[in-house]
Chains A and B, each alone.
Chain A
């Protein structure tokens, strides 16, 4: 049986990857690649209710709840933002609501994302995390 990474393992993996980069340009190159590799998000799901409030660029988050787990899909018109989302999806998609809610999301601070984004973008990141937590909380109640 394939070993499914725990949330902690997935977080640590991302932190390890980012620790390889000294330069911010390299981190951005990496985020841009991740953004480009995010799977296609249907145009029809770019709706107002899926839009994350508080971002300078537009971000849509969609999810599917299956067998007790939440699978996220998302898109943005800005590629770096898309890279950040894809990072979050990699860690948090396919987890149970309880698992997601148990995370303190400190991974974004540990990879230096939060402090290196301008306040408006940091707010956007907080909003994205808020959306993920909100979706988890809604599905926990059911």
Chain B
């Protein structure tokens, strides 16, 4: 499939902003959605709006079927062993909070240690800080080096007999570098430390196989991988999820309820209290079908690689530009580039680019520790998806140069 045919599947890509063709380079914040996802979402809302699992009527059957089919699609896509390992959540943030609370409740005590990396999104920092406050545990940080690479070597020193879990991003939403998850898991597991991987970016830009990665938890948000907002997944190894206590109590997650005591539903419903976003979660099936189609298409892979290499080169050569997350090997970098330009404020750049029809992100990208690490107030971030073309990239470079000239 060529990029133009791919673009036809995404209605939003055809729109204009301020009279100019939209160039959407903010895909790491949320990706655009294909027709198939929107049709699935709409179809369920129009025709099959009934609460899932409990009722015996036809509409409820359809809704339940769509919801559970999506679970199986996720299971297949990431290579989980069973449906019990796939818990639906409202997003990656909710999934991390679930683990921080429930795993933390069971396995983390006073003086224990949790590891995170310096490159984490706030969502993979704050839940662990809250856990550590609650349990009087200690949060330790694996630093990144000047190129933005996580210092994997430091991990060995930081894993102690007190360490219970390491929470590591698959790919930082600022640096765009793929962390060596397999190696991290090996080190952690050799010391008895569990590993949670934040796959918010990883699920879109790599072909995730949780069995190959070997991690204990893998979390991601649906809206970054072509599904709708308010959807997400917690993958957890069954034997660990079995041992974890419920996070939220309510409907659906119970076996029997008596005032003398309650038993809980088996996995995965144990962690799905209350009416779920069933119309939303169902869209994960068509979403992952698109993702699978794209990642197995050699023509799209080629165009994606070409655009990435062009932008990385062009930005690196630009006068006064400082990129964060640099590498000599582009295979470990996703098409996501965060940078600062001397003498120009990132917010001004984003504002001017917007008026040229280009959507980018400016600011701290929910990663203030990384901003501190590199001594900056904020950055400009451009993040691409497989539907972004060379023509867009060239227009972006020209526009960026023009914006810099205006602002300096």
Contact = CB atoms under 8 A, between A and B. Distances in A.
Most A Cβ at <10 Å: residue of B18, B351, B407: B351
21 contacts: A24-B18, A25-B352, A25-B355, A25-B356, A28-B355, A29-B406, A56-B363, A57-B345, A57-B347, A57-B348, A58-B377, A77-B345, A77-B377, A78-B345, A79-B348, A80-B347, A80-B348, A80-B351, A81-B348, A121-B347, A121-B351
Interface in A36-65: 56-58
B355 A79 contact: no
B362 interface: yes
The A contact surface, by secondary structure, is helix
A32 B356 CA distance: 16
A58 B348 CA distance: 12
Nearest to A76: B345
Given A77-B377, A79-B345, A79-B348, 10 more contacts: A24-B355, A28-B352, A28-B406, A32-B407, A57-B347, A78-B347, A78-B348, A80-B347, A80-B348, A80-B351
A120 B363 CA distance: 11
Contacts of B347: 56-57, 78, 80-81, 121
A105 B324 CA distance: 41
Contacts of A81: 347-348
A108 to B, nearest CB: 16
Interface residues of B, number: 16
A121 B407 CA distance: 18
A78 B345 CA distance: 5
Interface residues of A, number: 15
A56 B355 contact: no
B407 A79 contact: yes
B378 interface: yes
Interface of B: 18, 344-345, 347-348, 351-352, 354-356, 362-363, 377-378, 406-407
A57 B346 CA distance: 9
B383 to A, nearest CB: 17
B38 to A, nearest CB: 25
Contacts of B406: 28-29, 32
Contacts of A121: 347, 351
Contact of B362 (A28, A32, A56): A56
A56 B378 contact: yes
Most A Cβ at <10 Å: residue of B345, B348, B352, B356: B348
A120 B352 CA distance: 15
Contacts of A78: 345, 347-348
Contacts of B363: 56
A51 B388 CA distance: 39
A58 B406 CA distance: 20
A139 to B, nearest CB: 31
A81 B351 CA distance: 10
A78 B377 CA distance: 11
Contacts of A25: 352, 355-356
Listed from nearest, the 6 A-B pairs whose CB atoms lie closest are A78-B345, A24-B355, A78-B347, A57-B347, A80-B348, A78-B348
A104 B345 CA distance: 30
A79 B407 CA distance: 7
Most B Cβ at <10 Å: residue of A29, A78, A121: A78
A79 B27 CA distance: 27
A7 B365 CA distance: 40
Contacts of B348: 32, 57, 78-81
Contacts of B356: 25
Nearest to A78: B345
A29 B403 CA distance: 10
Contacts of A79: 344-345, 348, 407
Interface string A114-142: 00001001000000000000000000000
Contacts of B345: 57, 77-79
Contacts of A24: 18, 355
A80 B349 CA distance: 9
B293 to A, nearest CB: 34
